[in-house]
A = this chain, B = another copy of it.
Amino acid sequence: MSDYAAPLADMRFALMELAGLGEIARLPGYEGVTPDLVDAVLEGAGKFAGEVLGPLNRSGDRERSVLENGVVRTPKGFREAYADYVAGGWNAVSVAPEHGGQGLPQALATAVSEMWSSANTSFALCPTLTASAVELLIRHGSDEQKRLYLEKLVSGEWTGAMNLTEPQAGSDLGALRMRATPEADHFRLTGQKIFITYGEHDWTDNIVHLVLARTPDAPPGSRGISLFLVPKFLLNADGTLGARNDIRCVSLEHKLGIHASPTCVLSFGDNGGAIGWLVGAPNQGLAAMFTMMNHARLDVGLQGVALAERAYQQARAFARQRVQGRPLGADQDGLPIIHHPDVRRMLLSMRAATEAVRALAYYTAGEIDRARRESDAETRMAAQNRVDLLIPVVKAWSTDLGFEVTSTNIQIHGGMGFIEETGAAQHLRDARIALIYEGTNGIQANDLVGRKLLRDRGAAMGELIAEMKAEAAAPESDAAIRQPLQAAIAALETASARLVEERDATRALAGAVPYLRLVGLTAGGWLMSKSARAAARRLAERDGDQRFLQAKLATARFYAEQMLNAAPGLLPAIAGGATVMDYDLETL
């Protein structure tokens, strides 16, 4: 039994009205993206997510992946579900056709990706990592590497794993120590990697590891890191599987959540060195990683959207059937708790947060498509700047709110929410990691302030602010949203100027996390205002499900009133870097 149904109406609305999928489909290269195709993709993915992946979510959490005699066994049904996923052609929806993919717009692929993570976050991690490996090989792999590995990664016949972290090198990859010693046409890798998601599993014949390591003559720190391709099984000359490489799964981590996904400690080179090949230029490993960072961060942000949606659906279903107490003002017993004012407020807060983070993620995905496909170079550049600016916000704000929403789901369940059988606790546990991996949310905020705001002295942010102001000033913008939106934009403008003018960069960074939250809240308000405007227009034109559109409008107003209004209150914290940095460290 699955308790997840893809929110197709809301996804379509966000794709069309906020990401602009209609216009994207007219860009060169996306000619085949017809409305029928979009519907077929969304409905097919929704069906697979709801019927195949969703029902494995609870059992996967309970059973977990286990390591026995060096072999990782994933929970019952996962291997079969992956085979179905590959057979359905889902692994390559956004990969370009010349590499064997379906070449769908990123915006559409983003909705599909949200569904996988909603239905089963642990399952979805593996294809996400394969997608990163594909992107790296397309951009940096040699022709031979592409010939041998790319097709099978794109189809999903093999999976990819990203080997970055070591015990002393987490956020700071410059500290990593794994060695890669040249030998003939290849390298021998020795050392240990930790936190390797799906670094070992039982889904496919082979796993393609992408591994960061140092060659003997490499400079210290982050400028001496190279990227290597290290397959679990070496390939024979004809491409068939050969000898097992010298990589061993030493243990699996016991984690707070995402239990079904194996998080491996991998030992390379216990028997002389794992054989690997350099990908791209020597010492350019981190640079290569950065080329796929936007995509990876969008995917993690989507996990926040996805678990918020899933938690909302569960809370709504529970609040509609659980009877407890007579709600104030009710004239009968036996009403479900959705009639209690505070339960209703909680549900609305979950829904508004979910719609807002989805709006920002889909909008940003649409900008990725524009950055790739717009015919005009300047338009492409503007879109890319917008993506670069917003990606850390999508990653951090969505996962912050996603976690909060999963906690509200527990709260609506009351005591039942604390019992694991209910499943509410799992969503909270699964959601917590997304605030950490792919760059902690603090690092996202540092990126937003340090790289995206300060380097161009607020230029890209200024362009976004100008667009937001235009939205707020539009005569047809919603009257209930306009004032909170204008106040938030004003606060954002003040905060941005304040950080740009701050001479002590450490003080600016001490305000980075509340600044990122301000950007998220305000950008969310901007897109909710657009949503409200589109809904009002379609209501007036009697275009579409009127009740759904009324709800869009009401949710946008709730967001403005109850969430966006908190934005200006963040200003003192953003400007309060001195309070943080001047605190006597010895007494902290």
Is A351 in contact with chain B by the CB < 8 A criterion? yes
Give complex CA distance A543, B506 in Å: 34
Give the contacting residue for A256; candidates B403, B425, B550; CB below 8 A: B425
Stretch at the interface among A23-31, A436-444, A526-534: A436-444
Contacts of A506 in B (CB 8 A): 327-329, 341
CB distance from A487 to the nearest CB of B (A): 10
Is A254 in contact with chain B by the CB < 8 A criterion? yes
The chain B residue sitting closest to A425, CB to CB, is: B256
Contact between B171 and A411, CB atoms less than 8 A apart: no
Contact between B428 and A414, CB atoms less than 8 A apart: no
Give the contacting residue for A580; candidates B329, B348, B441; CB below 8 A: B348
Contact between B577 and A341, CB atoms less than 8 A apart: yes
The chain B residue sitting closest to A165, CB to CB, is: B415
Contacts of A219 in B (CB 8 A): none
Is A433 in contact with chain B by the CB < 8 A criterion? yes
Chain A contact-residue range equals 35 or more
Give complex CA distance A349, B323 in Å: 39
**Which of A342, A512, A565: most chain B CB closer than 10 A?**
A342
Proximity string of chain A (164-196) to chain B, C-beta cutoff 8 Å, 1 when within and 0 when not: 010010111011000000000000000000010
The chain B residue sitting closest to A547, CB to CB, is: B587
Proximity string of chain A (191-209) to chain B, C-beta cutoff 8 Å, 1 when within and 0 when not: 0000100000000000000
Contacts of A463 in B (CB 8 A): none
Contact between B588 and A561, CB atoms less than 8 A apart: no
Contact between A411 and B441, CB atoms less than 8 A apart: yes
The chain B residue sitting closest to A319, CB to CB, is: B588
Contacts of A280 in B (CB 8 A): none
CB distance from A548 to the nearest CB of B (A): 7
Is A372 in contact with chain B by the CB < 8 A criterion? no
Contacts of A507 in B (CB 8 A): 341
Contacts of A288 in B (CB 8 A): none
Contact between A414 and B170, CB atoms less than 8 A apart: yes
Stretch at the interface among A40-48, A70-78, A466-474, A566-574: A566-574
Give the contacting residue for A255; candidates B256, B419, B450; CB below 8 A: B419
Task: Scan residues 546-588 of chain A and give those whose CB is less than 8 A from a CB of chain B.
Answer: 547-548, 550-551, 554, 557-558, 561-562, 565-573, 576-577, 579-588
Contact between B587 and A550, CB atoms less than 8 A apart: yes
Given A174-B325, A325-B171, A569-B566, the answer on whether A587 and B548 have CB atoms closer than 8 Å is: yes
Contacts of A407 in B (CB 8 A): 403, 432
Contact between B557 and A418, CB atoms less than 8 A apart: no
Give complex CA distance A172, B415 in Å: 12
Contact between B418 and A580, CB atoms less than 8 A apart: no
Is A509 in contact with chain B by the CB < 8 A criterion? yes
Is A421 in contact with chain B by the CB < 8 A criterion? yes
Contacts of A512 in B (CB 8 A): 341-342
Contact between A421 and B558, CB atoms less than 8 A apart: no
Contact between A419 and B510, CB atoms less than 8 A apart: no
Give complex CA distance A584, B428 in Å: 28
Proximity string of chain A (328-340) to chain B, C-beta cutoff 8 Å, 1 when within and 0 when not: 1100000000111
Contact between A562 and B547, CB atoms less than 8 A apart: no
Is A410 in contact with chain B by the CB < 8 A criterion? yes
Give complex CA distance A420, B450 in Å: 33
Give complex CA distance A327, B573 in Å: 20
Contacts of A325 in B (CB 8 A): 171-172, 174-175
Is A218 in contact with chain B by the CB < 8 A criterion? no
Contact between A419 and B253, CB atoms less than 8 A apart: yes
Give the contacting residue for A324; candidates B172, B416, B417, B568; CB below 8 A: B172
Give complex CA distance A214, B328 in Å: 25
Is A257 in contact with chain B by the CB < 8 A criterion? yes
Contact between B576 and A562, CB atoms less than 8 A apart: yes
CB distance from A372 to the nearest CB of B (A): 32
Give complex CA distance A414, B439 in Å: 9
Give complex CA distance A514, B407 in Å: 16
Contact between A576 and B551, CB atoms less than 8 A apart: no
Given A513-B342, A550-B587, the answer on whether A579 and B565 have CB atoms closer than 8 Å is: no
**Which of A327, A433, A587: most chain B CB closer than 10 A?**
A587
CB distance from A10 to the nearest CB of B (A): 11
Given A554-B583, A587-B547, A588-B338, the answer on whether A414 and B440 have CB atoms closer than 8 Å is: yes
Contacts of A139 in B (CB 8 A): none
The chain B residue sitting closest to A545, CB to CB, is: B587
Task: Scan residues 478-537 of chain A and give those whose CB is less than 8 A from a CB of chain B.
Answer: 484, 504-507, 509-514
CB distance from A514 to the nearest CB of B (A): 8
Give the contacting residue for A195; candidates B415, B509, B567, B570; CB below 8 A: B415
CB distance from A245 to the nearest CB of B (A): 25
Contact between A572 and B581, CB atoms less than 8 A apart: no
Contact between A442 and B346, CB atoms less than 8 A apart: yes
Given A344-B588, A445-B342, the answer on whether A561 and B572 have CB atoms closer than 8 Å is: yes
The 7 closest A-B pairs by CB, nearest first: A569-B569, A172-B325, A551-B587, A341-B510, A256-B425, A341-B509, A342-B442
- Give 16 new A-B contacts, CB below 8 A, not counting A341-B510, A345-B580, A558-B576: A170-B416, A172-B325, A254-B420, A316-B588, A328-B450, A338-B588, A345-B511, A348-B579, A410-B436, A411-B436, A415-B436, A415-B437, A418-B436, A551-B583, A562-B576, A566-B566
